[in-house]
Amino acid sequence: MLLGRKWSIINVKKHERENMKQTQKKMVLAGMLTAAAVLGGSFFSFPVGVARCAPAQHLVNVVAGVMLGPGWGCAAAFCAALLRVLLGTGSILAFPGSIPGALLAGLAFFYTRKISLAALGEVLGTGMIGSLLSSLTLRVFMGQEAAVFLFLPSFFASTLAGAVLAVAILKALQKSGGDLQFKLLFDGIFAAIKILDFLNLNNITMEQALGRLPAAHKREVEVNVANENKGRLIKELINQYRNQKIETTEGVKIYQNGGWVLVVPARDRGVCKIIAEGDSEEFAAELRRLEIAMITTTVHKNYLMFIKCAHKLPTSPMNRDEVTAAEIEIRNNMYQGLEAYRKYIPGFEKAFISRTSPSLAIRRGRSIECDYDLSNEQIINAVHFDDDVFVYGFHDSAPRFKVKNGGSYGFPYRAGCVKGVDNLYAIGMMVTSEHNAHMSTRNTVSCMAQGQSFGTAAAMCAAKNIGTRELPYKDLRAQLEADGVYFE
């Protein structure tokens, strides 16, 4: 019981500290918005009817209502009105002309989460309620009679202008990926205030302050992670580094060894983005030197799926000696890359190479000319042919290139028949001359489908004792469909 009470007290105090911190940061933003309203009302206002229009105040009302809520929005409106009266740039009508609009704007957004309705709340609050309260204010505090409709033109003109500007600003912020909730927006504003305070206290310029910062080196890569595994990966990282300083605002950010690593799952692709920053350029430089281009991982504990060491051949892959020299260099790079990971990345101290490719894999070399050459334009536009032997829908260059509407394209029989040569097929990485098209047809699953389709065709030609160009397509199609080849 005592332990439970102790933890309850700790949790309450922690909650109180968080609330205090949130309140302080809201005060900073409210103060900045108040200043914007005062400056805007002082330097940009114009008379309409019996009152002056100050669109900046109504812009601030909507922004404050959305970002801070109705209470803080009203407080900012009251402070702005008070300052304008004290400075002589506004009259007593500044109070009824701003506070109702801020209140309705905040309430509208609080209950609907819609910017447009927050703007409508400002227009109705100022245009109608503000006009009514202004008429009463003149009668009670100044002994003057004024009909409500005398305030309507000026109040509506002022609030409409400010509300439209506020909607434009908030929509632009929302479109750029920003969250309109205050707790995700205050950091930049609060940091700006602290930076200005630091420059003032130390009597230095921004350029001098930047010169004092230590050098930081940043590197960004993407690794393939299936969508269904992203959550497990993030959970595994949080568990693994729970005793270190981490942040989980967006993905998981791990601090260690004078730097940090941020792992963020992509929303629309099967990848995770890894961003690392540190005070040393050595690791990044070592990876570049060794041409380590991509890492693909898995969620299995203490297991890294593979690291790709790339190498651009200086000559043709048909040159036996050059290919041999390249394979030797890549195998040396593998061991040097392993040492780099052991040295620079925590958790890799006992890493080892479990297996490597038995031979050098050449992704792109010479291609063989066939009766038909499939283009990337046909692939991404999901074109099908009268002699399809299978269909396929993946592109290795996604999201830059995607098959239209998530569909498929056809691989024609004639695209595997070697031009000018009978009874010879060319498939897999030997066909498709256009590089971008090749990035789809050379993919493993596509090569498997080509192997089945043209292997079936070769067997049928041998059984019927006919040439590859004499094989009736309808017979081949029927056999492929019977074998379960996908054509839709």
pLDDT at residue 377, as a whole number: 95
User: Do the beta carbons of residue 432 and residue 442 sit within 8 Å?
Assistant: yes
What residues contact 190, with CB distance under 8 A and at least 6 apart? 25, 28, 29
In sequence order, what are the beta bridge partners of 309?
A: 292
Angle at 138 between CA 84 and CA 136, to 5 degrees: 110
User: Do the beta carbons of residue 275 and residue 261 sit within 8 Å?
Assistant: yes
pLDDT at residue 186, as a whole number: 45
What residues contact 449, with CB distance under 8 A and at least 6 apart? 389, 390, 392, 411, 485
**With a threshold of 0.85, does the pTM exceed it?**
no
CATH superfamily of 215-344: Alpha-D-phosphohexomutase, C-terminal domain (3.30.310.50)
3-state class (DSSP) for residue 120: helix
The CATH architecture that domain 19-184 belongs to is Orthogonal Bundle (1.10)
Q: Cβ–Cβ contacts within 10 Å for residue 55, how many? A: 22
Count of alpha carbons within 13 angstroms of residue 173, beta-carbon side = 17
pLDDT at residue 226, as a whole number: 74
Residue 23 to residue 304: CA distance in whole angstroms: 44
pLDDT at residue 409, as a whole number: 96
3-state class (DSSP) for residue 45: coil
Q: Would you list the domain boundaries of the chain?
A: 19-184, 215-344, 376-482
pLDDT in tens, 29-58: 888 888 888 887 766 666 655 556 678 888
Per-residue pLDDT of the chain (488 residues; tens, 9 = 90+): 334 343 344 444 444 555 566 677 778 888 888 888 888 776 666 665 555 667 888 888 888 888 888 888 888 889 988 888 888 777 777 788 788 888 998 898 888 878 889 889 888 888 788 777 877 776 766 666 655 556 677 777 778 888 888 888 888 777 655 545 444 344 566 667 778 777 878 888 888 888 777 666 777 777 777 777 788 888 878 887 778 888 887 788 888 666 778 888 887 777 888 887 766 666 666 666 666 655 555 556 666 666 766 666 667 778 888 888 888 888 888 888 888 878 777 667 788 888 788 877 777 777 899 999 999 999 999 999 999 999 999 998 887 888 998 899 999 999 999 999 999 999 988 898 898 999 999 988 999 999 999 999 999 999 999 999 999 999 999 999 999 998 88
Helices (H), 345-380: 376-380
pLDDT in tens, 324-380: 888 888 888 888 888 887 877 766 778 888 878 887 777 777 789 999 999 999 999
